Chain A
Amino acid sequence: MKKSNIPESQFELQVPDSLKTEEMTLSMGPQHPSTHGVLQVILKTDGEIITSAKPQIGYLHRCFEKHAENITWHQVIPFTDRLDYIASMNNNLGYVIGLERMMNLEVNERAEHLRVVVSELNRIASHLIALGTYGLDIGAYTPFLYVFRDREKILDLFEEICGARLLYNYIWVGGVAYDAPDGWREKVLEFCDYFDPKVKEYNDILTFNKIFIERTANVGVIPAEVGINYGVSGPSLRGSGVDFDLRRDDPYSIYDRFDFNVITGKGEMGTVGDTWDRYWVRVAEMVESVKIIRQALENLPEGDAKETVPRNIKVPAGEYYMRTETPRGELGFYIISDGSKMPNRVKVRSPAFCNLSVLPAVAPGVMIADLVAIIGSLDIVLGEVDR
């Protein structure tokens, strides 16, 4: 496994035997800006080269799973917002579809379409943040402002449809919380037209910038088998060349009706599975999301999106594992019901947590500055890692 693009000989320490050297333990985070929240990584370094990296998590632990056992089925939805707070819609969707499958609930067509539209919009918003903060980690400040300008447009759309900008509580069991207001569909289509040329802008300003490529290509290579063994999923796994997307391979909601490509890393700038590939998968995925939104809005049926929302949620006793594709990967909700008003157990298989677990396997042998690039390319959200 090639860990770094710097030749090995460069790291050989030319020190006389009389001089004592030792490993240095370095604590990176939890206040380090490039750790995307409150992640602490304990690094053992040999000079500038990392010999081991150990993520310390738990600074943002909020007992989601235990808390879910003490509130009603519906009240869990606002708390799922707070797992991955950058892509709340996708979190709502996973939990809600899990419950619907347990209840054998048919959902109104209009609501299904609206769900797909908001989820894909949120995927774009999340990938935009991934892009911007990744550039910020590497040292490019400008793209960050550009992506936030466009993300703001998505948040405005969300604010119009559900009133919130970050924690939506929009997707409900049996439908959605609000029907789309008049003219919302046209506004989203307008955004799609606006957004397509912007992707080229990001590519010009960051993706194909030589300095950026030098920093990211061939760095932090996750071979496909390592990625699979560590349970990496989502764009991080697709960056390693694994063609796996739950939206296509295990369709939920109405994703099987749409025509879109699953993007995989091809090693265009270096090795397959390097940080640039993971980054590129996200850029290309945004274009695919726009495609899905266009198709969903084209066939948006008339009707009442709240028609099938039940008054009381009665979940029959049993258990179900629901997995959905969020912007970070495979989000699983393992729901156990004993037939009462509250969940017996809601276990979350969070993609960011599993993606982060690959860090100790990738980190040894890279430089500290490259570790920042690796963490950024995994696109973790600490709210979901710690839950």
Chain B
Amino acid sequence: MRQYFKNIYEAIATILVGMGVTWRHLFTRAVTIQYPHVKRTLPERSRMQLFVEMDDCIGCMACERACPVDCIEIKTVRGGKDEDLGQTSNGQKKRLHVVQFDIDMGKCCYCSDCVFPCPTGAIRMTPEYEFITYDRSTLLTKFATYSPEEISELEERERKEKEAQAAAKAAKLKAAEEAKKAAAGTDEPKSE
């Protein structure tokens, strides 16, 4: 019987102790913020939306290889021989047209593994976090600025160049072979 009342007493006493904590808490500043109206400034390193500075991208595909979830898709076309594609901000010469640079933010796992291998610092994670959409397909961000016509033109040119190169190579090989044959032809009678 005594224990019964003791339990009741202890329950009330410890509840009052707990209430004391909540009472004290009443006079502290609120830690919550009214989000859409008040926004927290995120630290510089915050890993939110990915951003690519296309002027700096040299199309080395290091980020594509580093991505553990394959959310980056890059396509490049080689630039012409005397075509000047400009320089990146750290002075590296661009040699490739980056005709496609797609990042699917729906797939992205925000690990920032793509940021570190980039030789020019073109790809980075920004503290921008408000990019929710109604449609998942809009999360696919296209960074390349080439129009489809330009791409097909560049591809056509690359194909032609490749063909020309292949033809030149084949001709060279043929010439070499013929030369060899001729040399062998002249050699053969001598050895006999």
Give bound CA distance, A214 to B45, whole Å: 46
Give bound CA distance, A142 to B19, whole Å: 10
Q: Kindly report which residue of chain B lies nearest to residue A149, judged by CB atoms.
A: B31
Give bound CA distance, A204 to B125, whole Å: 43
- Contact A162 B111, beta carbon cutoff 8 Å: no
Tell me whether A167 and B111 are in contact in the complex, defined as CB-CB below 8 angstroms, given that A204-B20, A204-B21, A205-B21 are known contacts.
yes
- Contact A204 B113, beta carbon cutoff 8 Å: no
A164 at the interface (CB under 8 A from B): yes
Residues of A within 8 A of B109 (CB): 78, 167
- Contact B45 A178, beta carbon cutoff 8 Å: yes
- Contact B15 A211, beta carbon cutoff 8 Å: yes
Q: Kindly report which residue of chain A lies nearest to residue B11, judged by CB atoms.
A: A210
Give bound CA distance, A211 to B11, whole Å: 6
Chain A residues 131-165 with CB under 8 Å of chain B are 142, 146, 149, 152, 159-164
- Contact B47 A164, beta carbon cutoff 8 Å: yes
Query: What is the count of residue pairs linking A and B with beta-carbon distances less than 8 angstroms?
Result: 76
- Contact A78 B42, beta carbon cutoff 8 Å: no
Tell me whether A209 and B110 are in contact in the complex, defined as CB-CB below 8 angstroms, given that A75-B68, A149-B31, A163-B125 are known contacts.
no
- Contact A206 B110, beta carbon cutoff 8 Å: no
Q: Kindly report which residue of chain A lies nearest to residue B70, judged by CB atoms.
A: A71
A324 to chain B, nearest CB (A): 21
Chain B: interface size category? 20 to 34
Residues of B within 8 A of A152 (CB): 31
A169 at the interface (CB under 8 A from B): yes
A11 at the interface (CB under 8 A from B): no
Tell me whether A78 and B111 are in contact in the complex, defined as CB-CB below 8 angstroms, given that A160-B43, A163-B47 are known contacts.
yes
- Contact A78 B45, beta carbon cutoff 8 Å: no
Q: Kindly report which residue of chain A lies nearest to residue B12, judged by CB atoms.
A: A210
Residues of A within 8 A of B47 (CB): 162-164
Chain B residues 83-126 with CB under 8 Å of chain A are 109-113, 116, 125
- Contact A201 B68, beta carbon cutoff 8 Å: no
- Contact B111 A163, beta carbon cutoff 8 Å: no
Tell me whether A163 and B22 are in contact in the complex, defined as CB-CB below 8 angstroms, given that A78-B111, A169-B112 are known contacts.
no
Tell me whether A205 and B18 are in contact in the complex, defined as CB-CB below 8 angstroms, given that A163-B46, A163-B47 are known contacts.
yes
Chain B residues 17-69 with CB under 8 Å of chain A are 17-18, 20-22, 25, 31, 42-43, 45-47, 66, 68
A280 at the interface (CB under 8 A from B): no
B3 at the interface (CB under 8 A from A): no
Give bound CA distance, A214 to B21, whole Å: 21
- Contact A209 B20, beta carbon cutoff 8 Å: no
Q: Kindly report which residue of chain A lies nearest to residue B8, judged by CB atoms.
A: A210
B145 at the interface (CB under 8 A from A): no
A79 at the interface (CB under 8 A from B): yes
- Contact A210 B7, beta carbon cutoff 8 Å: yes
Tell me whether A210 and B46 are in contact in the complex, defined as CB-CB below 8 angstroms, given that A164-B110, A169-B112, A205-B21 are known contacts.
no
7 cross-chain CB contacts under 8 A: A78-B113, A159-B43, A159-B45, A204-B18, A208-B17, A211-B14, A211-B15
Give B contacts to A, CB under 8 Å: 7, 10-11, 13-15, 17-18, 20-22, 25, 31, 42-43, 45-47, 66, 68, 109-113, 116, 125
Given contacts A162-B47, A167-B109, A211-B15, 17 further A-B contacts (CB under 8 A): A77-B111, A79-B68, A159-B46, A160-B45, A163-B112, A164-B47, A164-B110, A164-B112, A169-B112, A177-B112, A178-B45, A181-B45, A205-B22, A210-B10, A210-B13, A211-B11, A214-B11
Question: 5 tightest CB-CB pairs across the interface, nearest first?
Answer: A78-B111, A163-B45, A75-B68, A163-B47, A210-B11
